[in-house]
Amino acid sequence: MRVVACLMLLVSALAHGADASQEQLLQRLRQPAVLRGSFTQERQISGFRRPVQSAGRFVVARGTGLLWHTMRPFESVLVLNQQRLTVSNGTGQPGTTLDATREPMLRTLDELLQSVVVADLKGLQAQFEVELRLPDGADWTMTLQPRQAALRSRFAGIELAGGEYVKSVRLQEQSGDVTTIRFADQMEDSRLTGAEAGQLR
Amino acid sequence: MSPNAFRRRRALALVWLLVVAVLAFHQYHLWRAPEFVTDVTELLPHQQDGVLEEATARLLSASATQWVVMVGSEDWNVTQQAARTVLETIDPQRRRLQATADGKVPEALLERIRAGRGALITRDSLDWLKGASESAIEQRALQGLVQPVGDGVSSWRDDPLGLLGEWVRERAQWSRLRPRDGWLWVEAEGAQWVVLPFADSASGLSSWRGGENSRLLARARALVAERVGGARIVAAGASLQAEAAARRAGFEISVIGTGSLLAVVLLTLVTFGSLRPILLVTLSLGVGCAAALSVTDMIFGRVHLITTVFGATLIGVAEDYGIHYFAARQGTPVDRRWDQLRQISPGLWLALATSAIAYLALGLAPFPGLRQIAVFSCVGLLAAFLTVLCWFPWLDRRALRTTRFSEVFARSLDRWPRWSGGWKWVALAIVGTALLLPGLLRLRSEDDLRQLQNAGPGLLAEQLEAGRILGLASPAQMYLVSAADQEALLQEEEALTARLAPLVRDGSIRGYQAVSDWVPSRARQVEAAALVAKADRVAWHAMAVATGEQIQLEPQVPQLLTYPEFEAAAGGQLPVGIWRDGSGAYHSLVMLGGVTRDSLTELARAGAGLTGVRWVDNTERYSGVLSTYRARLSGLLLVGVVGVVLLLHWRYGRRAWRAYLPTLLGGIVTLAFFGWLNIPVQIFVVLSLILLLGMGIDYGIFMLEHPGERSVWLAVAIAGISTLLAFGLLSLSGTPALRAFGLGILVGETAIWLLTPVFRLQAKG
């Protein structure tokens, strides 16, 4: 599956993790029930000169799941909830679906997502060694080292940076591909819209 | 006593002493490291089919030392807490805990698989690629491109459609276990399970003393029940079953053994009112049992547990000779003992011979287990008898009084009803027939291997549950695939799995495991490689158009994966793999998961028409074996009945019916009893009838040989009661087959015991 393990990181990026100085970090972090925003993504594929650019919007809902809606260069919608992960091209055609009963990793991912959205960093720390840097001011950066060999064999390094919210994530894969995601326009909300809830159901 | 006779008797006693000394020496070595076989299938006839036998052996050895404990509850935290308790109890040092079953493809194998990129794709991918339009391929490739990261198996550049990643993921599906918080985790039926797989160093299948794992498991169960409410524990594994079987057998042996011995001691005590007969009869039993065990061990190499459980009934049969000796001795001068022994010994030889013939008839069936039982029993009887013959007059040097009990009992023969042919008897016969007939009409037969299973129903149920939760392939049904070379074998497997795939889709079975899942045939790898190369070009072009990248990529030529390479890199990924037999042919097993009774016909049909594929239904095969031999032994029983009837007619002429009728009636009563209680007749019931014929006829013979002689009646009656008790105790066995056997003998013997004096001759004079 293309997506599961990385989403775990992405999701953690959307809300972040910490260690000894996590109290300080927690104070700077917001813990909304629903967080919406836009993202731009640059994927540098090894052997290619130019990175692949894409952009879109995302929604994270605590206790429900994640919507990752790529709008440029073309439509792609990724939905993750407790039951399944679906990737479709946004034209209404059925896309690829992974069922949590066949791929139990999804369940783990979803639990991690929830713990992250509510800034329950225990979930993150179970999977990663977290090195946190808190320079003066509101901003912070952190480096995540996967604890499990399975994740380590895939990621050479993961870096997050943020302030009130996560601003960027950099994922360096063992295969040589590097992805940088920048987040912007974060908006908090107390609930999902009807359409979003429908997609996440 | 003439000096010659004295010397001969002394020589015999000394020779027997020498034999017993040798036995004692052998017993000492045997019990220092006792090893008994518990595997049920070893009781069955050896398969004529060498390949199938090899397949079974490989399958068994793959799982022999492994066992698994599963801890589950609705709440993951409770589950983890219980799992910690279990692990701390069973394996605090983590020496036996295995961590390899999480479905992760080993790194060494992954390296080799990456070199095969392009050739290794799933069947679904292959089907999709065959029909996919260029735009569909472009779509899929670009979808992958905008995902935040790749699949961890290949860079997008090397595998733009993520086909190898998908293949690897499908391979990981062989195990439903996934890592979670440092545990192996599976979710099933709404519960969160932690799975703790253990492996022992030595084979557990034949270990008798072991029992360690079961003890630890029992303690873990108790601790979890005490400390963590609401968590369930399910344990499974061949070694646990073997331990349970051994423990149970040990218990049954001691119950039957002690029970029979106690009965013999008590009967001897009240009949003879002296300690000497008890000690001597026990001595003869001890020598008999030791000889039985030693000789069986020497002949077969290893003794099966079921043999020993059955053998415990020997105590109730082998005491006959000693009791006959003392019954003859009772109330007669002590110096006549040699003469008396000489007088009764022809009768005893005859009784020994008929019992031995009956036991040996059991051994005619080609069941190794039954042959052991036959040898065990014959040797035990002979040794007990020889002990009486060679030693008893030497050791028994004092007078033996008649007791009140023996007098009263001996006189009871006079009051016993006797068949006179009057109208009362005819009416009784009609009533008896009316009672027996419906029972006989209700009889049904059943041939199920589980009859021989003695691990207990609880563990068996847990085994099934564990298999269901873990999605394990069943060892009961499988396909045996054979071909002249490996490529042909893999192609044959693929032809089969192509037929199985629809059955998985429609839910008839849950899945299958084949070698070709991991190592597709060369033909298929070549086909896949061509399709993938074409699709990759389309994908790269789409990427160039979408991003403006100008790059020329050429598909990499995949390095086709071969079975030897896979074997070298994977080592034990598959339970059995491919093997080569003596004639140079190659074989493999395609295992199935989630087989139900309803899917059996479909599965058998799926294998039909493929030359190298053989559908193997072990449950049915074993039932077939049991049913065949049930029929053959029934035939043997009829031949035996005819033989006995002819023999008795030759010896006793028109009076012969008095000797055999009680036994024949006893057999019919037994069958009617099984019919009434709705217990199916299986091979062991037939065997009990054979043994009844051999032992029951003895009583008739004795009564006919010495009409109205009270001391004979006493010996016959006392011996009969102890035999009854021994087999009655066998009917308490946890092994259904032994239980049926014991019950058959119990009912039949009781009937024979009661009926034999009814048909006695009028005492002379």
Tokens in use for B89? 């109890």
Residues 6+ apart with CB under 8 A from B348: B320, B321, B324, B385, B388
State pLDDT tens for residues B356-369: 887 787 777 777 77
Query: What φ, ψ does residue A17 adopt, rounded to 5°?
Result: -140, 180
Q: Is the pLDDT of residue B79 over 60?
A: yes
Is B178–A3 a contact, with Cβ atoms under 8 angstroms apart?
no
Nearest to A177 among B156, B162, B178 (CB): B156
Pick B99 or B242 by higher pLDDT. Answer: B242
Asked if B145 lies within 8 A of A52 by C-beta distance, the reply is yes
What pLDDT score does B201 carry? 65
Among the listed residues A186, A140, A193, A177, the one whose alpha carbon sits nearest the alpha carbon of residue A24: A140
SS3 content of chain A, % helix, strand, coil (to 5): 25, 40, 35
Q: Is the separation of the CB atoms in B585 and B409 below 8 Å?
A: no
Q: Which residues in chain B have Cβ-Cβ distances shorter than 8 Å to A93?
A: none
Which helix (H) or strand (E) segment holds residue A53: the answer is strand A52-61
Per-domain residue ranges for chain B? 1-33+273-402, 408-441+656-765
Beta strand extents in B486-627 (DSSP E only): 511-513, 579-580, 586-593, 613-617
Residue B614, strand partner residues = B480
Mean pLDDT score, B235-250: 79
Q: Residue B535 and residue B554: Cα distance in Å, rounded? A: 12
Q: Which whole number is the average pLDDT over B660-679?
A: 93
| Choice among A70-74, A184-188, B38-42, B623-627 with the minimum mean pLDDT | B38-42
Under 8 Å between Cβ of B740 and B685: yes
Task: Write out chain A residues lying below 8 Å of B178, CB-based.
Answer: 104-105, 108
The pLDDT, as a whole number, for residue B738 is 81
Distance CA B251, CA B712 (A): 35
Section B98-115 average pLDDT: 73
Q: How far A201 CA sits from the closest chain B CA (Å)? A: 20
> In three state form, how does the secondary structure of B602-624 look?
HHHHHHCCCCCEEEEEHHHHHHH
Sign (positive/negative) of CA torsion B118, B122, B127, B129?
Answer: negative
Most confident of B340-354, B462-476, B589-603: B589-603
What ipTM was reported for this prediction? 0.77
Q: A173 and B144: CB-CB below 8 Å? A: no
Cβ–Cβ of A104/B156 closer than 8 Å? no
Lowest-pLDDT choice from B15-24, B104-113, B336-345: B104-113
Residue B583 and residue B5 in contact, taking contact as beta carbons nearer than 8 Å: no
CA distance B128 to chain A (A): 13
Nearest to B149 among A50, A150, A171 (CB): A171
Strand order in the sheet with A96-99: A96-99, A84-88, A76-81, A65-72, A52-61, A34-44, A178-189, A166-173, A155-162, A140-146, A128-133
Residue type, B157: R
Asked if B156 lies within 8 A of A45 by C-beta distance, the reply is yes
What value, to the nearest 5°, has the Cα angle with vertex B290 and ends B285 and B291?
100
- Residue bearing the bigger pLDDT, B210 or A89: A89
Say what the pLDDT of residue A30 is: 66
Interchain proximity B155–A49, CB inside 8 Å: no
Reported confidence tier of residue A120, pLDDT bands at 50, 70, 90: low
pLDDT digits (tens, 9 = 90+) for B604-638: 999 888 999 999 888 888 888 888 888 888 888 88
The pLDDT of residue B47 is 62
DSSP B671-689: HHHHHHTTPPB-HHHHHHH
Which letter, b or e, does each residue of B35-66 get, where b requires 16 or more Cβ atoms within 10 Å of its Cβ?
ebbbbbebbbbeeeeebbebbbeebeebbbbb
Q: Is B186 close to A104, i.e. CB distance below 8 A?
A: yes
DSSP annotation string for B52-119: HHHHHHHHHHHHTTEEEEEEEESSHHHHHHHHHHHHHHH-TT-SSB----SSPPPHHHHHHHHHTTTT
Residues of A in contact with B144 (CB under 8 A): 2
Residue B572 pLDDT level (bands cut at 50, 70, 90): low
A108/B546 touch (CB, cutoff 8 Å), yes or no? no
B186: which chain A residues are within 8 Å (Cβ-Cβ)?
104
A119-133, B82-96, B330-344, B623-637: which has the minimum mean pLDDT?
A: A119-133
Q: Which residues of B touch A112 (CB under 8 A)?
A: none
Average of per-residue pLDDT values in chain B: 84
What would the DSSP string read from start to end of B401-431? Answer: ---HHHHHHHHHHHHS------HHHHHHHHH
For A142, residues 6+ apart whose C-beta sits below 8 A from its C-beta are A16, A17, A18, A130, A131, A132, A133, A159, A160, A161
Alpha carbon distance, N-terminus to C-terminus of chain B: 33
Which residues on A lie below 8 Å from B184 (Cβ)?
none
pLDDT higher than 80, residue B205: no
pLDDT digit string (tens) for A156-170? 878 888 777 778 888
Local structure of A187: helix, strand or coil: strand
Taking an 8 Å Cβ-Cβ cutoff, which residues of chain B contact chain A?
A: 104, 107, 139, 142-152, 154-158, 162, 165-166, 169, 173, 176, 178-181, 185-187, 543, 546-549, 551, 553
> φ, ψ for residue B304 (rounded to 5)?
-85, 145
Q: Which of B145, B178, B548 sits opposite A104 (nearest CB)?
A: B178
A25-84, pLDDT tens digit by residue?
666 666 678 888 899 999 888 878 888 888 999 888 877 888 888 888 878 888 888 777
The CA distance from A136 to the nearest CA of chain B, in Å, is 30
Please answer yes or no on whether A105 and B176 come within 8 Å at the CB atom: no
Cis status, amide bond into A73, omega within 30 of 0: yes
Residue A54, min C-alpha distance to chain B (Å): 6
In angstroms, the separation between the Cα of residue B107 and the nearest Cα of chain A is 9
Q: What is the pTM of this model?
A: 0.73
> Higher pLDDT residue, A78 or B519?
B519
CA B117 vs CA B122, B245, B521, B556, B558: distances in Å: 12, 49, 15, 8, 6
A150 closest CB neighbour out of B104, B150, B549: B104
Percentages helix, strand, coil for chain B (3-state, rounded to 5) are: 65, 10, 25
Q: What percent of chain B has pLDDT over 70?
A: 93
Task: Quote the radius of gyration of chain A (alpha carbons, Å).
Answer: 16
- Closest-CA residue of B relative to A41 is B148
The CATH class given to the B1-33+273-402 domain equals mainly alpha
Amino acid found at B276: R
- Chain B residues whose CB is inside 8 A of the A7 CB are 148
Name the DSSP class of A190: S
Residue B678 φ/ψ, nearest 5 degrees = 65, 30
Q: By three-state DSSP, how is residue A193 classified?
A: coil
As a whole number, the mean pLDDT across chain A is 73
pLDDT at B724: 85
Please write the tens of the pLDDT for every residue from B682-710. Answer: 888 888 898 888 788 878 887 887 777 77
pLDDT of residue B210: 60
Alpha-carbon distance of B62 to B576, in angstroms, equals 7
What whole-number distance in Å separates Cα of residue B478 and Cα of residue A116? 46
A127-131, B491-495, B627-631: which is most confident = B491-495
Q: Are B148 and A179 within 8 A, CB to CB?
A: yes
Residue B155 is nearest to which of A49, A148, A175, comparing CB atoms? A175
Res B524: pLDDT? 95
The answer on pLDDT for B391 being more than 80 is: yes
Residue A159, beta-bridge partner list: A143, A170
Contacts of A102 in chain B (CB under 8 A): 173
Q: Which chain A positions have a beta carbon within 8 Å of B511's beta carbon?
A: none
* Type of residue at A116: V
Instruction: Give me the mean pLDDT over the A123-141 stretch.
Output: 75
